[in-house]
Structure 1
């Protein structure tokens, strides 16, 4: 697994941590059996979780990093299992933290098995997986703070419109 994380700051007049942080990974996938016997191309959960956890901690999410890394890992594997990807290959994963909105955005882009390779089925199975996590704390009974995470995923098919 190759990883790279880049911290980019949006233009802001305020001093402090960057408003936007971006991480990018290229992950190899392998065939795995899912519940129900269906096979899918998914990356190793342990490696993905470790990379997410390390990055989220570096981005200052503290104790929330572990829970968010677990959610992200499950969502990446779920999106890939439902995607039209077939066989082995690699994916590009982009993760974006918008700390002011308490939101993590992720994009999953499948890579062709070799440069210039096309899908042999030909049926327009390209696309990308989209992941959104919102998180935070809200007051609970007795004044204790309760952490929450809302999860959204979908596969977006890239379509080309021709005249």
Structure 2
């Protein structure tokens, strides 16, 4: 009945005008029910999940710089997952240096991770890899999140998430 609304004109009978008004009200109600609320519309922020597996400070420095300067500062919800040997990068007792063009900044890998966290980035630590390396939450710089499967899964499988391995 509503599909033939275009056939009705202003000279229609009162019953036809009622049907037209009723169908229009139904369509508007239906649109209101499926339209996202303003708070839901902003939750579609793009994300980047970087998995970092090496403790090589040259590669790690590039990965952290990319995550921080390119992704996070461009509006991506960004996480770096430190796993395998990368768990050593956030150990506050382990000295580190940065190679290449970034060496002039004088920052350590821990400094870079801390700055990334301070700007809203997330650093996830593999719990199993930490245990294998003999490290605990107390060994890591402030702000590191231990990454249980539910935590990692909540990042990895969310809508609009991209992954990058380093």
**Higher RCO (CA-CA < 8 Å; seq separation 6+):** 2
- Greater share of helix residues, 1 or 2? 2
TM score, norm. by length of structure 1:
0.29
TM score, norm. by length of structure 2:
0.28
